[in-house]
Amino acid sequence: MRTIMAGLVGGIVFFLWGAVAHMMLPIGTMGMKLPTDQQAVLAAIAPTTHGAGVYEYPSIAPDKWNDDAAVKAFNDANHGSAYAFVIYQPGGNPAHADMTPNLIRQFASDALSALVVAFVLGLGAFGLAKRVFIATALGAFSALTVSVPYWNWYMFPLDFTIGSVMEQVIGWLIAGIAIALVLGRGRR
């Protein structure tokens, strides 16, 4: 029961940290830029898609990845050209009208993540400092397994990636403190 309580408290703390990082600090918006001529871009993208999805421009069909001649021709044709990684939703972003469903899903995700962290921290008789360190390390692990590969493979901007890593590591440090305090002191 204490692990569940610790997870819920940790989820609340992590959720609140996310709000602070995105609404009060520049961490949540690092690397984000306001595009120009947005309607023209959206109108141009629409006919190049097959509906909602993630698109890379330019890209090569997966069935051509093992065709050396096709890959070479693609690379030669696109060397030095612009690149875009686009999440396309033709129906718009419903969060612009009402963020409530997104906030509920975010809190549920944060609470479930914190329950996992609380479970891991409860597996051993760790002291408070070690529990906080482990929670912070789990935050670094999550950032290194998601944010860094997006920077590496999909060319997410470095400042965006740094902001994402900071949000995870700092958030799990703070949530880790809350989780460790609720779990109580273990053996050192």
Q: Which of 108, 111, 173, 112 is nearest to 139 (CA)?
A: 173
Give the Cα separation of 129 and 142 in Å (integer): 20
Q: Is residue 16 part of a domain?
A: yes
Q: Is residue 45 part of a domain?
A: no
15: domain range? 2-35+98-183
Same domain, residue pair 83 and 102 = no
Domain count for the chain, please give it: 2
Q: What is the pLDDT of residue 10?
A: 98
Same domain, residue pair 65 and 9 = no
Q: Is residue 48 part of a domain?
A: no
Q: What is the pLDDT of residue 188?
A: 42
Answer for the pair 135, 121: CB distance below 8 angstroms, yes or no.
yes
Q: How many CB atoms lie within 10 A of CB 101?
A: 10
Q: Where are the alpha helices (DSSP H) in the chain?
A: 2-23, 38-45, 68-78, 100-122, 128-154, 158-183
Give the Cα separation of 91 and 73 in Å (integer): 35
Same domain, residue pair 123 and 153 = yes
Tokens of 187: 């053996």
Q: What is the pLDDT of residue 96?
A: 80
Q: Is residue 93 part of a domain?
A: no
Same domain, residue pair 19 and 104 = yes
Same domain, residue pair 149 and 73 = no
Give the Cα separation of 11 and 142 in Å (integer): 15
| Low pLDDT (below 70) residues in the chain | 185-188
Same domain, residue pair 21 and 107 = yes
